Amino acid sequence: MFVSEQHPLTRLFRQLVAKRLAGDAQIRDPQVTDYVTRVLVDFTDARNLYRIRNVRGKRLEDVGEMLLEASPLFEARSFLREREVRKHIGDYTLFLTGLFPEYVATLPRQRLRLDALIDYVQTGKESYRVVSYFDQFEFRKEAPLFRKLSENFELCVYGLNLVKSDLERMQHPEFRKVQETWDSP
């Protein structure tokens, strides 16, 4: 499902992400803001969150399984597949650590899973760094963006933590009353 740039959800996410990344996280880069906004919009559809599948068609939900799928030494069928999966790992870990840090914090206590041994922030950072190394041909223009995402991963997570707080506040009944007052003619 594609959500346009003019859709109210895209505009809301862009406004919140820009405010929090530029103001609180001190990342004043429109490319990073646009990319992080697009990740949020894309992952509102759970099919995008879990789009990576292994060679048998099994949906991969654990970052550990995704890392195996990305590795040319194990499952990856090509370097393009490695890039695709590593990009998704970066997006997935950014999304979860930014908007659902409480879930990520429970991973070590959940049933025995490979993800219990993985540091999501380090893995996301590393995955974006790997994607930035794909800097030839059609990926030449994108490579610097992924280098910035890798270098500023923790700040992006921090900014998304604040976006999450903003979204929670916006659900509060008092906020809605104020919003209705502003919106009424």
pLDDT for 33 equals 97
Helix 120-132 with 79-99: angle, nearest 10 deg: 140
Per-residue pLDDT tens over the stretch 90-106? 999 999 999 999 999 88
pLDDT at position 150 over 90: yes
The single-letter code of the amino acid at 173 is: P
Res. 114 pLDDT band, cuts 50 70 90: confident
Res. 107 pLDDT band, cuts 50 70 90: confident
Rounded distance between C-alpha atoms, residue 117 and residue 153, angstroms: 19
Alpha helices (H) in 19-119, listed in sequence order: 30-42, 46-49, 63-70, 79-99, 101-106
Res. 86 pLDDT band, cuts 50 70 90: very high
| Tokens 């104020």 sit on residue | 178
**In whole angstroms, what separates CA 11 from the centre of its chain?**
17
Per-residue pLDDT tens over the stretch 10-30? 999 999 999 999 999 899 999
Quickly list DSSP for 119-168. -HHHHHHHHHHHHHT--SGGGTTTHHHHHHHHHTHHHHHHHHHHHHHHHH
Note if the pTM is more than 0.85: yes
Res. 157 pLDDT band, cuts 50 70 90: very high
Per-residue pLDDT tens over the stretch 48-84? 999 999 888 999 999 999 999 998 877 667 889 999 9
Q: Specify the range with the lowest mean pLDDT, choosing from 62-71, 76-85, 107-116, 125-134.
A: 107-116
pLDDT for 91 equals 98
